[in-house]
Amino acid sequence: THVLRGKDHLANSEKQEYLYHHLGWDVPKFIHYGRLKMDDVRLSTSQARQGIEDGIYSGWDDPRLGTIRAIARRGIQPAAIRELMMEIGVKIADSTVTWKKIYGLNRSFLEDKANRYFMVENPKLVEIEGVPESLLGNVERPLHPDHLDRGMRSLEFNGKVYLDGEDIPSQDDQVLRLMDAVNITFQDGQAQYHSEGIDEAREAKARIVQWVPTEGAVETEMVMPDASLVTGFAESTLKGVEEGEVVQLERIGFTRLDGKEDGKLRFYYAHK
């Protein structure tokens, strides 16, 4: 009764309608819609197939493609795509979808769902001198700040941590706060204990950064949207995450755990 297809078939509809009349058949309702385009992403299946055959793409789930398999592997939720299609609707005009729009919709579904964890890129081993014994031990952080019923994660703080190399201050005396742990400074490249509380950090206008305990740190690699790899270390509690689960790596973004191999965790990056 109905034919739904792209507007590039408008000319075909005229020919087919003629045949329906000629054969004495009931003419179906023809509904044509515009093409869907995405910023900086090829949606042509023929071009994607050729790229896969030429070895440019790793497969139909290569993160550089706009296929359902590719965006699902990155952790884009089905509900976000469904919401997007409902907003676009069926219309004759072409539509261009931006990643910003997709990420915004996806974030609305993930903010409440994804648990939080620490990971550092470009990891640098930092040994902090002068930390009081009373501050050494387990640091507790919630799996989700808005859902405390999900429980806590425990990070062992022994004064030796991995920090993102880009977070380490270039100037001496600049204060850095390790989330829920301590405030530190660097003197001639050596980390020094500065103070304990968040109030001292605010007074010093300290940057607040995530950190990974050296004890039990897990090697990670993250596949980015351009198929490049980012390596680092993550907290040990991530070992308990199920494959396929989407988590939020604090200050990094939402990622989907794609696999566990030889003690290493492999993520696919979604977005901030």
SS (H, E, C) 223-269: ECCCCCEEEEEECHHHHHCCCCCEEEECCCEEEEEEEEECCEEEEEE
Where along the chain do the CATH 2.40.240.10 domains lie?
114-272
How many Cβ atoms sit within 10 Å of the Cβ of residue 168? 17
Phi/psi of residue 49, nearest 5 degrees = -60, -40
CATH number of 114-272: 2.40.240.10
Q: Where are the alpha helices (DSSP H) in 54-98?
A: 68-73, 78-88
> For each of the chain's 272 residues, which pLDDT tens digit applies?
999 999 999 999 999 999 999 999 999 999 999 988 887 776 778 889 999 999 999 999 999 998 999 999 999 999 999 999 999 888 889 988 899 999 999 999 999 999 999 999 999 999 999 999 999 999 999 999 999 999 999 999 999 999 999 999 988 889 999 999 999 999 988 999 999 999 999 999 999 999 999 999 999 999 999 999 999 999 999 999 999 999 999 999 999 999 999 889 999 999 99
* Cα–Cα distance measured from residue 255 to residue 121, given in angstroms and rounded to the nearest whole number: 14
State the CATH class of domain 34-110.
Answer: mainly alpha
In the chain, list all ranges with CATH 1.10.1160.10.
34-110
Helix segments in the chain, DSSP class H: 10-23, 45-53, 68-73, 78-88, 99-110, 198-203
